[in-house]
Structures are given as structure tokens and as C-alpha cells.
């Protein structure tokens, strides 16, 4: 088939094979007459109705009432060969073939999962040109590179209501993700109803939890979209919220309160008491019946062992059993829990720490540590998924995450069979700094770039093309009801305190969050801290900065006026922003960064004068500007001036 | 109390009395501890919880879990004296008193209705300044000028789903409206379930109707917000959708189809057959039981009489009964229907046509004709509400509607008692050109200006101040979840066909819809016509045009560079927009208006040169520019260039 580059499409993820055709299939309200053939089930009917609705939303062409008009030839014929597994399994066939000509479109798939994936491709293909809405003639044969393509959502540190979860599933379906990993318990909250142990949610959630009916609703909603739901109950650490209602589970007497701070804390389950396993047996049994997926996530990360060290009874147990270290004690616990998970018909999944030498090989390792841990596990015959490099909370750009591959350098020497054990990956949305208001803004559109890494061929790595398509998929997601753009706008509106929003937006587009865990280190945060500052709105990616950097990189003569216009507006922004800053308690911390922006923009203008034939600057000038840039690149108010590097390049070019 | 102008607040509607105090009450997460005192009911508890949630959304301060923190002194104490009527009646006491000092706030009201109104005022008072979020110290004593303050929503011509109705109610509550008039049946659709006559919805709605449970849900939702729900079943005309299932109701044999075109049509109920009244007796009985409000709207407008003229049996009936005209025949029908409405315990409301001389005086007249009709009715002892002048579908500005008063010139000579019979008014959102996607964009924020006309003292008429506060209330509504801004953004994104949105936005901000019924005359429209063009996005109000007009009006020396910057960007927009226009089938019709904009902006720049001391222009120049302006002011693609008048002023000033 032809190289993809010859055919500029906006698809994300990029399909495995794409052959452009000639002409275009027009989309009008007759699109409502999708025809389903072959194997039928309610999920397919619902998906077809949803596709019609999404096409209508994208185009603005009313399509719902397919009445009062004569039924024409079906514009899209779908053929599904057979049913998928009743409970979606890991290695299902998700392939599909989409054939579009001027005369009509055909979507063929072995099972409903492929139909779902192909429908999303069809929706993305629709665009508007001079002739109206349509899809280009094309033949696509597509299947995912990795079987496990997930998003982990932490609904425990900050509560995320049901409707926000559903909206997240809508977005996931749009980019062909297939695993929703629901991080349901934490030190800061226990978020699902247990009928066996009701004090878990009654005392551990501030009343903010999902009922079991709501969980079933989410599972059905996800299944309709070809998405598995895996619950996580983190143990033996990250479990303070359990201990509020059931202090006897812990390794120190209590009483316990819901934790309000962020970090790693001492409380951990007592691995030495049989009552702990009795409780977990009943609890896991209850939850295993609620969640149909074959995998059950038991967490297992970040136990600091302090409660164990301090408990003489636990120390005595370790001596008696010949358990030498806390790691070994956790391994003992995990092995016992794994047996319970298996007893209730599930396979265990957990973070790196669960992989100990006597662990059965039917588990899945979720690695926050990295590709090496996965490769090591694969050599041992253990399946794994990668999350290291895909933490959406750490302030990195889409390009950063896009560059991470589940089969990275560390997997180079694996055999093909071992490589098959790297099942895929999951992005992680930890919620220390995420509220429902910020959820979409933090997940989207970056999640789509990671989804492409999980689905598309390994060779799809062009970052510029990724960003072009990311802009398109971001618009797609808005039409589906995602709120990442409107949330951003509202945050800026709030920050402006009734003043003009434009100067706030100008600054916001030129800053990005500090990386990794710098934010937690910057000031004390807890569950009640308002997340309503510029750092909360700031995006890790800026189209403005990318454009400016590209202009500076090319440095064509005809680009120089554009560079000047950018720099002038940034220098002048300070005057517009100053009165707003001084009237907004939320923005005043950004005064210094705004001044830095003005100063380096002015320096950039001086450099531009030179480049456009003005007076040359001496070494003192350069030294002074470099010092200015060095100051400007320091984080302030948890923000980085993302436009500093290209301005530095400009100034260095003027040397 | 002090003149309002001394205290710049953002309240809309403006309260009856406002006395500024000294200082400011800080808003933080302790606001969650609202205290309810005096009379209690679930509606008040729900309203307090909603207020906390809205304050949290507006400020970004987490407030939901009022746990883990020590309960402080309540920041807002609410005292409610007694219950309101179980079914909200027309002349309820909605007054409240709000007292805010640095130390705390108090809201006193005779009944829950006043509490609801006062809560909205409190929410609007919150702003952000250099010290953080807070409310200014103030004493407000407030009550509405008119008892009936409504919005009529036509959910029949285009279907409006339940969630959109609820969102509309949210917005209504925010600006203290108290009547939701639900226009449920039309030629183009019958939108509510009848259990007695199920073919009404089964054959008359394309499956798009509310179940009775959903109607009850809306009624409860509205009651929680102090809003009455009045159903309208338009008869004997505007009723084609009834006849699809029940052709025997009509005055010609049928069969009937749901009408897809807009306009006035011939089908009308047969007023001469007893079976018609038997049907209506049962139907009104069913609906009267469903909708608790004391009023029941029977429409009554726009019967063209053609089916009656053509039916020999009806003609014979008229001769036998001595009924001379179709108007008299309709009066006979309406009198019979009124008796049925009364039999089922309701009072009748209808459009102008229902007021005939033998009609009982306990009806309410809703006037699409104007204040004179209302004044005439008041003299006859009949209550009325004004809708003429408040049609949101006709493309008029907020200022236009704001200038219309239910007690206008025509009411000048009424006695006080007669004036009391003008109960208020209702804005009307007819939906020929409204889909769910466009609903908020068409209703908001203009509805808020009309709501102020209905609530605030008659002397509150400063248009510039109205627009200032309308901007603030528009932001408030966004934080409540209204989508008028995000809908607009999505429409422009779609129009740009993947290209840059900014040039599309620039043009969009400078155009407005044609007025009155010019749009229907411009091209054939029907229920299936896509509403996805620039005319559909175009707002009747433009802040940009208002600002520019103000600069031209002042013509201060320091404003001239701003005027030049505006005109330059408008002239240059054509070059940016042209490639988008030629690639977007939805936008290409706007090519001429974009060229007109560039041309008159260039003319404005030439005028500005003169005004800034350049060469004077001769009369030929002026004549040429006037011809240009005259062409530019002609409607194109159903749009008007709203920036033409201020540019004309500029050019005339340069003469």
C-alpha cells in the first residue's frame, strides 16, 4: 500500500494500512440509514445509533428522525461475522476493514469490537470541503499493535462523579482505547459501595462513592464501547480510607481518619492476622462478582513498612516464619491475596512490587518503574503493561509521552514470544491535582497521542504530524462532548476576575506546568486546596510556542515579521495584564513570570533588529541577555515559561 | 437608600433597593456551612446544597465534603418564615432581604420563593479581587415588579431533549424567572405522552417526546427552583401532528403527515362535532392531572379558516347556529374548550385570539400583538402578559428587547387597578431555527436582559450598564453549565473546516442575523434543513461592534490608534478568510459579506487618514463611499454587517 504521507488524513490513531482511493463519498442526512448485516446484537444497534448521532453533531446535519423520507440505498453497510466473548478478554480480535468509494462505504469486521473501532475511524474521516461534508475514498485494513490499551483514573484522591467517568469513556472509545482501570481506593477515599463491609464507603468516602448499581452502569456503558473495566483496590498500603471503618485491618491500632494530605503514609494492612485474609476473601468475592473482567487489580505499591517495623507482634511473626525483610513480608501478603483472587475466578494484576519469585505466572505486572521491569518479567514468562512514561499528572507534553514505547530499548533483546508478553500500556491519571472541573483538561488531548502509541504501527513516530492530527482529534472530542477546551476557557475567565481575558490567555499559552513531582514540593497541598490558579489551567503543550519555535528554527526572511509580531505582543502583554494581576488574588503570583516574559520578548526583539541588519551586539549584551534567560527559565508559581527556549535560540542566532 | 450608580455591582436583574455597606465578607470553603433557620422543607435543603455547589463551581474552591474540618460560625444564615403554596401560584410573595457585613450574611424571606431569589443574588455578588473571593457588604431589599416572568420554549418544531430543558431551567432560575411555558404541540410535532390517546405521540412525534414521568421530573425540577410549568396545547390550529394519529379531529378527511415545513397551515380541529369536545374533555382531563399549575394554555393563534371554508358540513353548522365568520366560529370553539379547562379545575390562558366578548374574565391573555391588546384586555377586566417584543427568534439585540415594557405607552391611561392586570411577560423561543445545539446560543444571554425588565424597577433602563452586567451574567451562566459560549465556539470551529478559526471569528463578531421573518423568506427551510451556517452562529449582539461604535462616537485623539487597529484587522481579515471560504461549503456563501467588510474598513481607514490630518476628500470620494456602504448594508446570506453603521459615522465625520 502507498506510504501514508501521500495522503494527508486526520486519523488518530493512524491505521495499520491505508490505501487512498479516488473521489469522495458525500455525507448527508441519508447517513441515518446505516445497514447492519451478518451477526447482530443490541450493542451493534446502539453503536450504529450513536454513530449517526455523532455524525449529526459533527456536521450539524439533523439525522435522528429517519422518517418522512424515502429510505435510500444504505450509505454505510456494516458486516459483522460473529459475536465477541461475552466478557471482553485481553486478546480479542479488534481488526476491521473499511472500504469507501464514491458510491458507498463498507465496514467489515470479525466481531463487534472491530465494528466499534472501524466506526470511530469512519467518524474521524468525515470532513468539510468546498463540496460539503464527506469522506475520502479509501481502503483501510486496521488492527491494534497492542492488545491492552488503557487509562487508569484515580477517583479516590479527588472524587470524580459518574457523569465525568462516562464522558471519559466516550473519549476513550473515540481513540480506540479498550481498558478503563478504575482506581477505587486510596488513603484519601474508598469510592465504591460494599454491601458486605458498608463502613468502607460510609466512613471512608465523605459520602462520595459509586453505588454497585452505578458501577454496573459504568461497566455496561464501557462494554457498549468495547472497553473493559478493571477495578483496583490498592493493598496493603494506600489503604488508610479502609481503616476508618475497619481499623482492625491495619498494623497499628488506630483510630484512623481519611487522609487529607498527599504522599506515602505509614498505615498498611496487617499481613500476619488470619482475620485480614478472611476479610479480604469476603471483600474480593463481593467485588469479583460485581466486576466481570478476568483481571482484578490489587495495587501493591509503595508500602513504607513503618507500621510493620513498629508492631512487635508482626516482628515476632516474621521471626517465626523466617521472613527477613518487609519486602518479603509484602510478598507473603501478596501471595495470599493472589490465592484469594484466583479462588474468586480472577487473575491478579498489580504494580511492580507484586512480582516476586514464587508468584504464579498468570498475573499481569503494571510497571510504574519502566520497560526494563517489563522485559525482565517477560523473560520470566510474566505478562506486563507499561505505565512508566505515561503519567498524565506529571506535566509532560504529548510529544514526551508519544516517544515512550512499551517495547523500548530494554525489550530489544527479547524473543518474539517474550515480546508478546508485553501486552501494551496504560496512561495514569493520578488525581492529586485533578478535580472534575480539571479532568478533561488534564486527560485530553494528550491521551490521544498515547492511544496512538498503543494502537498504531511502531514506525508511526512523526511528532509534527502527530501534533497536526492531535489538533484535529481535539476538535473531534469537543464535538463528542468532552470539555477540555471549555474548561480551559472557564478557568481563564475566572482568573481574569471580571477583567479582559485576552491578556490572561496570552500568558497562559506561553507557560507550562513544572514537571514530575515539583508541584507537590512547591507548597503544601491537600484534598481541600483550591485548584483554580494559572498552574491548574496551564497546558503541557502550546501550539503557539510550537509555531514560534518553528519560525525561529526556519528563520526565513518572510518569517521575520511574524516573529516580530509575536515578540511585540508578548512584550506589550505585561501592560495589559498588570491591572488584572493586581486585582486577582489568584493571578498575582504570576506577576514575576509576566515580567520575565516581557523582558525576554524585548531581548528577542533586540536580537531580531540585529538579524534584520541592525547594529551588532557585543558580548556584554549577550551575557546580559543570557543571564536574563537563565532567570526566566526558573520555575515561578509552579510554572515554566515554555517560550524561553525558542527565544534563547533567537538570541543566540543574533550573536 | 443610595443611588445604585454609586455602587458598581454586576447584579442582573437589578434589585429593588440596594444600600452599600463597608468592607467585604470573604468566601472560603467554610461557606459550605450555610445555616437554615425558621421554616424548613426539602426544597430549601436542596437549594442550599445547590448554592454551595454553584459557589464552588464559580470559585473553584472545593466545598462538597463539609467534613474533616471544624464547623465554624455559619457564613450565611437563612431565615424562612413560612411555607409557600403547595402549587406555586401567580401572585406569591417572592421578596427577600439580604444583609451582608464583614462578619457574615443573612438572608430573610417570608417563604421559600424569596429564599431562592435571594440565593441567586448572593451567588451573583461573589467576585474575586486582590484579597480573594468575597461579597461586598451590602443590604438588599428586593421584590419583583411583575408577578409573571416567563420563557416560552417551543419543543415541537424542533425537538428539545429533557436535559436541554433542565439546563434552560437552571438559567431561568439564575435570573429569577418563574414561569416555564412549554409549547408541547404543533403542526410539526406532538411532544408528550398521552396514555388516553397514545397515537398522539406514537404517530405525531417521530419518537421524540417526553414521557409523563419525564414531565413530572421537569415539573419537580422547576418547582425546586421556584418556577411554574405551564403546558401549551395549541388548538384548533397549529395541530397537524395531532391529526396524524387522529384524523377525525380535523376539519378535512386526511390522512395527515407530520408537517415538515414552517408557516401557517390549513388543518384545524373541527369545532362543529361533539366528538371533538369529547376527545378534548378526556385529553385536557389527562393533562390537567399531570400538570399541577392553575393555568392551562390552549394556544388559539393563527387559524386561517381554509378547512372550515371548504367543509360543507361546517358551513351548514355555521348557518344553522347563526355564526357569521370564522373568527366567530373559533370563538365558539374556544368558549367550549374554556368550559372543559374549567371543568378540570384550571384557568385558561391563550394567545390574543381567545379574547372574545363572551369569554369569562378569569383567563389570561398572552399577547403576541402588543401592549395595546393588553391594555384593552385590562380595561375589560382581563389579566394579560406581554410576549410581543420578546421573541428571541427574530434576531434582535438585547437592547431592543430591554426597551420593551409590559406597561408601555399603551398602558399610560390605565388605572392602577387595571395596571395590576398586566401580570408580566414571557419571552418566546420559537424553534424554526433552533436545535438543541443552538438553544443556549439563542436564549442566552439575551433572556437575562428581558428577565431584568420583568423583575427590576421600571426606571432601570441604562443600556450601557445593562450590557456591562449582561457580560457578567453571561459568565455566571457558563459556570452554571449553560453552553451559549461553547456552542458558539463549536459552530465557528465547524465552519472553519479544519482551518484557523480566528478569521471566521473576526467576521462572525461583525455580523448579525436579519430581523423578523426575513430569514424564512430568504430560502426554503424545513425541519430537516441543517442549521450549521454562519447565520446560525451569528449573535444579535456584538461587544466588538459596541466598543468600536463607542470609540467612533467619542472620537478622542487617543482613541484614533485603536480605531485604526480595528479597521486594519478587518480590512486584512479578507486575505486570511479567503482560503477558508473557498474550502468550506458552509462558509462560501459569506464571501461577499467578507469582501464588503474589507472594503468598508478600507474606506474607514481613508476617513481616518483625513481625521488625523491627512488630505481632505472631495464629494466624489464621499459619494463613492456612501454607495459602498449602501451596498454593504444589504443583507447577504441572511446576515447584516453590524459594523456598517459606526463605519458610516466615521466616514461622515471625515466629510
pLDDT at B4 over 80: no
User: Count of CB contacts below 8 A, A vs B?
Assistant: 142
As a whole number, the mean pLDDT across chain B is: 95
Confirm if A607 and A653 have CB atoms less than 8 A apart. yes
Distance (Å, whole) CA B580 – CA B561: 29
Nearest-by-Cβ selection for A260 from B68, B485, B527: B68
Q: Which residues of A touch B133 (CB under 8 A)?
A: 585
Distance from CA of A59 to the nearest CA of B (A): 7
Distance (Å, whole) CA A455 – CA A459: 11
Confirm if B488 and B211 have CB atoms less than 8 A apart. no
First to last CA, chain A: 48
Q: Which residues of B touch A127 (CB under 8 A)?
A: 497-498
Paired residues of A391 in beta bridges: A428
Which of B474, B494, B537, B590 best tests the A interface by mutation, with the highest count of A CBs <10 A?
B494
**Which among B459, B420, B411 is positioned nearest to B147, based on CA atoms?**
B420
> Would you place residue B72 in the very low, low, confident or very high pLDDT band (cuts 50, 70, 90)?
low
- The residue of chain B nearest to residue A492, with distances taken between CA atoms, is B475
As a whole number, the mean pLDDT across chain A is: 95
Nearest-by-Cβ selection for A62 from B58, B129, B530: B530
Nearest-by-Cβ selection for B478 from A61, A65, A490: A490
Distance (Å, whole) CA B568 – CA B586: 26
The alpha carbon of residue A194 and the mean position of all alpha carbons in its chain are separated, in whole angstroms, by 28
Count the Cβ atoms, other than its own, within 10 Å of residue A366.
Answer: 32
Residue A68 to residue B260, Cβ atoms within 8 A: yes
Distance from CA of A437 to the nearest CA of B (A): 8
Nearest-by-Cβ selection for B62 from A61, A489, A528: A528
Least confident segment among A323-332, B58-67, B140-149, B465-474: B58-67
Residue A494 to residue B59, Cβ atoms within 8 A: yes
Distance (Å, whole) CA A297 – CA B443: 48
Confirm if A489 and B500 have CB atoms less than 8 A apart. no
- The residue of chain B nearest to residue A133, with distances taken between CA atoms, is B585
**Which among A215, A217, A214, A193 is positioned nearest to A204, based on CA atoms?**
A193
pLDDT tens sequence across A438-455? 999 999 999 999 999 999
Distance (Å, whole) CA A521 – CA A263: 11
pLDDT tens sequence across B187-229? 999 999 999 999 999 999 999 999 999 999 999 999 999 999 9
B391 Cβ neighbours under 8 A, 6+ residues apart: B368, B427, B428, B430
Distance from CA of B13 to the nearest CA of A (A): 18
pLDDT at A110: 98
**Which among A151, A143, A119, A171 is positioned nearest to A457, based on CA atoms?**
A143
Known catalytic residues of A are: 302
- The residue of chain B nearest to residue A188, with distances taken between CA atoms, is B68
- The residue of chain B nearest to residue A256, with distances taken between CA atoms, is B68
Which of B29, B30, B65 best tests the A interface by mutation, with the highest count of A CBs <10 A?
B65
- The residue of chain A nearest to residue B57, with distances taken between CA atoms, is A437
A416 Cβ neighbours under 8 A, 6+ residues apart: none
pLDDT tens sequence across B521-579? 989 999 999 999 999 999 999 999 999 999 999 999 999 999 999 999 999 999 999 99
Distance from CA of B111 to the nearest CA of A (A): 30
pLDDT at A66 over 80: no
Confirm if B578 and B588 have CB atoms less than 8 A apart. no
pTM: 0.95
What's the whole-number mean pLDDT along residues A34-53? Answer: 94
Residue A532 to residue B61, Cβ atoms within 8 A: yes
- The residue of chain A nearest to residue B530, with distances taken between CA atoms, is A61
Q: What's phi and psi for B501, nearest 5 deg?
A: -85, -25
Q: Within 13 Å and on the Cβ side, how many CA atoms surround B319?
A: 7
Lookup: cell for B479: 459556570
Residue A68 to residue B258, Cβ atoms within 8 A: yes
> Would you place residue A545 in the very low, low, confident or very high pLDDT band (cuts 50, 70, 90)?
very high
Q: Which residues of B touch A57 (CB under 8 A)?
A: 437
Residue A131 to residue B585, Cβ atoms within 8 A: yes
Residue B528 to residue A29, Cβ atoms within 8 A: yes
Burial class (CB in 10 A: 0-12, 13-18, 19+), B345: exposed
What's the whole-number mean pLDDT along residues A81-85? Answer: 97
Distance from CA of A453 to the nearest CA of B (A): 24
Paired residues of A140 in beta bridges: A18, A98
The alpha carbon of residue A101 and the mean position of all alpha carbons in its chain are separated, in whole angstroms, by 35
| DSSP state for residue A526 in the 8-state scheme | B
Distance from CA of B56 to the nearest CA of A (A): 9
pLDDT at A7: 64
Residue A497 to residue B129, Cβ atoms within 8 A: yes
Q: Which residues of A touch B257 (CB under 8 A)?
A: 68
Residue A493 to residue B475, Cβ atoms within 8 A: yes
pLDDT tens sequence across B312-348? 999 999 999 999 999 999 999 999 999 999 999 999 9
pLDDT tens sequence across B340-382? 999 999 999 999 989 988 889 999 999 999 999 999 999 999 9
The alpha carbon of residue A532 and the mean position of all alpha carbons in its chain are separated, in whole angstroms, by 21
Paired residues of A100 in beta bridges: A105, A138
Q: What is the DSSP string of B200-240?
A: HHHHHSTT--B-HHHHHHHHHHHHHTT-EEEEE---SSS-H
Q: What's phi and psi for B140, nearest 5 deg?
A: -125, 130
Residue A59 to residue B532, Cβ atoms within 8 A: yes
**Catalytic, out of B41, B202, B302, B589:** B302
Residue A60 to residue B532, Cβ atoms within 8 A: yes
Residue B206 to residue A67, Cβ atoms within 8 A: yes
pLDDT tens sequence across B158-182? 999 999 999 999 999 999 999 999 9
Residue A65 to residue B208, Cβ atoms within 8 A: yes
Q: What's phi and psi for A128, nearest 5 deg?
A: -110, 130
Distance (Å, whole) CA B521 – CA B527: 15
pLDDT tens sequence across B239-267? 999 999 999 999 999 999 999 999 999 99
> Would you place residue B285 in the very low, low, confident or very high pLDDT band (cuts 50, 70, 90)?
very high
Q: % helix / strand / coil in chain B, to the nearest 5?
A: 45, 15, 35
- The residue of chain B nearest to residue A468, with distances taken between CA atoms, is B498
Distance from CA of A536 to the nearest CA of B (A): 10
pLDDT tens sequence across B394-441? 999 999 999 999 999 999 999 999 999 999 999 999 999 999 999 999
Amino acid at each position: 500500500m502507498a506510504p501514508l504521507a501521500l495522503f494527508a488524513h486526520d486519523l488518530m490513531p493512524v491505521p495499520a494500512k491505508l490505501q487512498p482511493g479516488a473521489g469522495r463519498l458525500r455525507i448527508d442526512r441519508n447517513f441515518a440509514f446505516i445497514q447492519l448485516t451478518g451477526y447482530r446484537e443490541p450493542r451493534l444497534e446502539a453503536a450504529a445509533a450513536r454513530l449517526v448521532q455523532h455524525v449529526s453533531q459533527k456536521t450539524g446535519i439533523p439525522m435522528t428522525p429517519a422518517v418522512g423520507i424515502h429510505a435510500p440505498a444504505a450509505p454505510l453497510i456494516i458486516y459483522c461475522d460473529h459475536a465477541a466473548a461475552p466478557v471482553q478478554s485481553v486478546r480479542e480480535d479488534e481488526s476491521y476493514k473499511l472500504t469507501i468509494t464514491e458510491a458507498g462505504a463498507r465496514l467489515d469486521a470479525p466481531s463487534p469490537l472491530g465494528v466499534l473501532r472501524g466506526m470511530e475511524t469512519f467518524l474521524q474521516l468525515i470532513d468539510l470541503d468546498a463540496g460539503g461534508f464527506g469522506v475520502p475514498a479509501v481502503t483501510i485494513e486496521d488492527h491494534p499493535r497492542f492488545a491492552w490499551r488503557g487509562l487508569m483514573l484515580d477517583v479516590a484522591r479527588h472524587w470524580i462523579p459518574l457523569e465525568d467517568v462516562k464522558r471519559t469513556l466516550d473519549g476513550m472509545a473515540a481513540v480506540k482505547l479498550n481498558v478503563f482501570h478504575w482506581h477505587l481506593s486510596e488513603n484519601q477515599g474508598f469510592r465504591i459501595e460494599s454491601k458486605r463491609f458498608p463502613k468502607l464507603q460510609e466512613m471512608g468516602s465523605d459520602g462520595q462513592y459509586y453505588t454497585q448499581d452505578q458501577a454496573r452502569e459504568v461497566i455496561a456503558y464501557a462494554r457498549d464501547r468495547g472497553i473493559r473495566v478493571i477495578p483496583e483496590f490498592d493493598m496493603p498500603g494506600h489503604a488508610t480510607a479502609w481503616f476508618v471503618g475497619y481499623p482492625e485491618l491495619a498494623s497499628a491500632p488506630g483510630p484512623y481518619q481519611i487522609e487529607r494530605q498527599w504522599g506515602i503514609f505509614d498505615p498498611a494492612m496487617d499481613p500476619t492476622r488470619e482475620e485480614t485474609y478472611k476479610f479480604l476473601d469476603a471483600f474480593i468475592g463481593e467485588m469479583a462478582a460485581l466486576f466481570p473482567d478476568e483481571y482484578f487489580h490489587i495495587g501493591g505499591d509503595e508500602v513504607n513498612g513503618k507500621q510493620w517495623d513498629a508492631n512487635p507482634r508482626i516482628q515476632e511473626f516474621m521471626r517465626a516464619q523466617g521472613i527477613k525483610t518487609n519486602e518479603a513480608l509484602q510478598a507473603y501478603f501478596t501471595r495470599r491475596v493472589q490465592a484469594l483472587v484466583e479462588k474468586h475466578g480472577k487473575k491478579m494484576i498489580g504494580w511492580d512490587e507484586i512480582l516476586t519469585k514464587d508468584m504464579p505466572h498468570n498475573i499481569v505486572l503494571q510497571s510504574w518503574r519502566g520497560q526494563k521491569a517489563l522485559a525482565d518479567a517477560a523473560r520470566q514468562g510474566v505478562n506486563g503493561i507499561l505505565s512508566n512514561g505515561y503519567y498524565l499528572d506529571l506535566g509532560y507534553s504529548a510529544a514526551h509521552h508519544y516517544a515512550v514505547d512499551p517495547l523500548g530499548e530494554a525489550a530489544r533483546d527479547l524473543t518474539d514470544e517474550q515480546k508478546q508478553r508485553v501486552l501494551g500500556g496504560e496512561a495514569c491519571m493520578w488525581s492529586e491535582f485533578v478535580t472534575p472541573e480539571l479532568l478533561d483538561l488534564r486527560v485530553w488531548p494528550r491521551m490521544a497521542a498515547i492511544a496512538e502509541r498503543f494502537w498504531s504501527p511502531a514506525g508511526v513516530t512523526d511528532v509534527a504530524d502527530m501534533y497536526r492530527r492531535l489538533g484535529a482529534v481535539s476538535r473531534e472530542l469537543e464535538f463528542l462532548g468532552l470539555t477540555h477546551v471549555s474548561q480551559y476557557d472557564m478557568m481563564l475567565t475566572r482568573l481574569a476576575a471580571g477583567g479582559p481575558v485576552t491578556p490572561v490567555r496570552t500568558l497562559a499559552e506561553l507557560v507550562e506546568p513544572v514537571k514530575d513531582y515539583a508541584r507537590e514540593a512547591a507548597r503544601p497541598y491537600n484534598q481541600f486546596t483550591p485548584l483554580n490558579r494559572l498552574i491548574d489551567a496551564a497546558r503541557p503543550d502550546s501550539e503557539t510556542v510550537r509555531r514560534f519555535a518553528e519560525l525561529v528554527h526556519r528563520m526565513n526572511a518572510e518569517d521575520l515579521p511574524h516573529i516580530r509580531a509575536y515578540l511585540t505582543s508578548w512584550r506589550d502583554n505585561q501592560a495589559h495584564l498588570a491591572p488584572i494581576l493586581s486585582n486577582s488574588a489568584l493571578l498575582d503570583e504570576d506577576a514575576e513570570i509576566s515580567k520575565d516574559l516581557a523582558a525576554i520578548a524585548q531581548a528577542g526583539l533586540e536580537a531580531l533588529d540585529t538579524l534584520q541588519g541592525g547594529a551588532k551586539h557585543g558580548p556584554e549584551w549577550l551575557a546580559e541577555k543570557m543571564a536574563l534567560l537563565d532567570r526566566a527559565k526558573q520555575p515561578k508559581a509552579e510554572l515554566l515559561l515554555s517560550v524561553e527556549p525558542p527565544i534563547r535560540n533567537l538570541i543566540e542566532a543574533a550573536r
